[in-house]
């Protein structure tokens, strides 16, 4: 009977949890529905896979360039605590609950497709690794509450499927404000932070706060219009300042922040400069990967919308919004990290002594990806002030929510790591305390929570998304297209709309999901 476990584990670990393969399959299905030739199907699917591999390569470069900086910040501040890392907690949990996580993830994906087909929530969540993360969280919380394997898998799969179609609906009005249409949705479990950023941006922005992409620089600083240059320069400055503080505190012991150490103080500083430059390269790779994947996934989804799930909309990973406002990504990241530091101070001085909450150290990777996306959402509704305020609020959320989440993770609460993004936090907390009611009562509470989320999402979809509600009507609805040579190289923060492939039916005038 080992094959019953081996098959789903293979599907989850080798295919469904790898976003590139999942996207490639979806693109191939869409092109098949268009009756494209074998060459077009293979080529389109391959480009989609390569686009996501480019995003993954860029993300790997981001992680590598930020790792020494994280060590320096921890050493410079002297703070000790928990660094939320989704991959770490998932890896630990796989040793205990690998089979349950596999089945929960597969069944949850099936539930999401059924809901997308038969409800107005026609979103297909394609961020495979985040599906795996949420499946792991639900398994840990429900199993730690004492539920049996079948109940954990069944209840968890239903909740996972509900989240995968519901959360994109809640964020869609804000996503549409960024993209200008309904061609894509947000498929990332940091949605609460993005919605909060968009809402805060609306409050603080007003009409006077111009977009982050309209920054006017003196002639001598025009080189900063190139987002890759501006991003790299900002990170170099941050790296050097932190490195100097860390060196003053630790002396030659600071050299150990780099994997191969440093030969002398000059070499230590220049390695810091190099890491900052590599960060700029990493962001450029991510943006190129996003453009590549969009060129295939959007047209392919027209076929899926017509043949499989009427009105289907792809819900994609957070970096999908980065090209729309690249300056906002950097501003959101820095603001989110600032919020994380202030949140850590609040935990240290107040919440840890009074409530015993763990100290959550700001992890640069979650702050970059979720903070950057929050900056884009905040900019869409509130311009520069919105980008700063949105990123800051996101930083507070991904600091306080993981601290409370640790209380419901059972034995995994002592693993010295936890889930980082906002939706893991608020949803895991609600499920954890709901499950603590008891076996039967807990299932009832959890089921009620899932139904409330589903019902709320359907209401938002029908009353808000499909009605075309604008979260910031005082600001222009569409972002400007690149107008000059510099912007066409990717320095304006936008890119042109991607036309459907030849032979594909023209998209409808209104592309909001229509349900079944």
Pair of tokens at residue 122: 């026609």
pLDDT tens track, the chain, 516 positions? 577 777 777 776 777 666 678 778 878 887 887 788 899 889 988 988 888 788 778 777 877 887 888 788 777 766 667 878 787 788 778 778 877 887 888 789 889 989 999 999 999 898 877 888 899 899 999 999 999 989 999 999 999 999 999 999 999 999 999 999 998 999 999 999 999 999 999 999 877 788 888 876 566 666 655 667 777 887 888 889 889 989 998 899 999 999 889 999 999 999 999 998 988 888 788 778 767 776 776 677 656 656 778 778 989 999 999 999 988 998 999 999 999 999 999 998 999 888 888 889 887 778 989 999 999 999 999 999 999 999 999 999 999 999 999 999 988 877 767 898 999 999 999 999 999 887 789 999 999 999 999 999 999 999 999 999 999 887 764 444 333 333 333 333 333 333 333 333 343 333 333 333
Query: In angstroms, rounded to a whole number, what is the distance separating the alpha carbons of residues 219 and 234?
Result: 19
- Residue-wise pLDDT for 386-443, tens only, equals 999 999 999 999 999 999 999 999 888 777 678 989 999 999 999 999 998 877 899 9
pTM of the model: 0.77
Question: Helix crossing, 149-179 with 86-118: angle to 10°?
Answer: 80
Please state, in angstroms and rounded to a whole number, the distance separating the CA atoms of residues 324 and 401. 28
Question: What is the three-class DSSP state of 218?
Answer: coil
Integer Cα distance of 284 and 268 in angstroms: 25
DSSP 3-state assignment of 363? Answer: coil
> Which run of H or of E encompasses 96?
helix 86-118
Helix, strand, coil in percent for the chain, rounding step 5:
75, 0, 25
């Amino acid at each position: 009977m080992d094959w019953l476990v081996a098959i789903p584990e293979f599907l989850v670990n080798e295919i469904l949890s790898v976003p590139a393969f999942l996207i490639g399959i979806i693109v191939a299905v869409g092109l098949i529905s268009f009756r494209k030739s074998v060459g077009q199907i293979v080529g389109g699917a391959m480009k989609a896979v390569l686009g996501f591999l480019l995003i993954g390569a860029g993300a790997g470069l981001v992680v590598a360039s930020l790792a020494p900086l994280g060590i320096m910040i921890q050493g410079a501040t002297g703070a000790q605590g928990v660094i939320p890392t989704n991959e770490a907690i998932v890896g630990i949990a796989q040793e205990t609950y690998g089979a349950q996580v596999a089945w929960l993830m597969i069944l949850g994906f099936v539930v999401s497709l059924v809901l997308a087909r038969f409800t107005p929530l026609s979103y297909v969540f394609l961020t495979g690794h985040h599906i795996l993360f949420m499946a792991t969280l639900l398994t840990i919380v429900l199993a730690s509450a004492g539920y049996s394997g079948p109940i954990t898998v069944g209840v968890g799969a239903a909740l996972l499927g509900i989240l995968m179609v519901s959360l994109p609906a809640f964020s869609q009005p804000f996503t549409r404000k960024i993209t200008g249409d309904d061609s894509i949705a947000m498929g990332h479990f940091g949605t609460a932070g993005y919605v909060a950023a968009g809402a805060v941006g609306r409050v603080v922005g007003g009409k006077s706060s111009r977009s982050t992409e309209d920054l006017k620089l003196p002639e001598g600083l025009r080189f900063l219009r190139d987002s890759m240059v501006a991003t790299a320069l900002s990170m170099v400055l941050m790296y050097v300042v932190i490195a100097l503080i860390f060196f003053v505190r630790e002396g030659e012991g600071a050299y150990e922040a780099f994997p191969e150490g440093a030969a002398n103080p000059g070499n230590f500083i220049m390695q810091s400069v190099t890491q900052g430059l590599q960060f700029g390269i990493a962001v450029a790779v991510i943006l190129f990967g996003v453009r590549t994947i969009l060129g295939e996934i959007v047209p392919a989804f027209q076929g899926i919308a017509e043949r499989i799930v009427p009105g289907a909309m792809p819900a994609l990973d957070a970096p999908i919004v980065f090209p729309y406002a690249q300056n906002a990504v950097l501003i959101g990241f820095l603001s989110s990290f600032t919020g994380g530091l202030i949140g850590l101070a609040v935990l240290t001085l107040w919440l840890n002594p009074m409530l015993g909450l763990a100290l959550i150290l700001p992890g640069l990777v979650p702050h970059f990806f979720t903070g950057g996306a929050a900056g884009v959402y905040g900019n869409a509704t509130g311009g520069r002030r919105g980008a700063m305020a949105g990123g800051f609020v996101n930083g507070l959320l991904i600091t306080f929510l993981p601290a409370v989440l640790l209380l419901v993770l059972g034995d995994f609460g002592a693993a010295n790591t936890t889930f980082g993004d906002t939706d893991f936090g608020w949803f895991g907390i609600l499920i954890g305390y709901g499950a603590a009611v008891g076996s039967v009562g807990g299932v009832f509470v959890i089921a009620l929570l899932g139904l409330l989320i589903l019902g709320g999402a359907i209401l938002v979809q029908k009353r808000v998304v499909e009605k075309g509600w604008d979260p910031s009507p005082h600001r222009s609805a569409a972002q400007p297209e690149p107008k000059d040579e510099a912007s066409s190289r990717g320095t304006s923060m936008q890119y042109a709309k991607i036309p459907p492939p030849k032979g594909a039916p023209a998209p409808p005038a209104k592309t909001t999901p229509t349900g079944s």
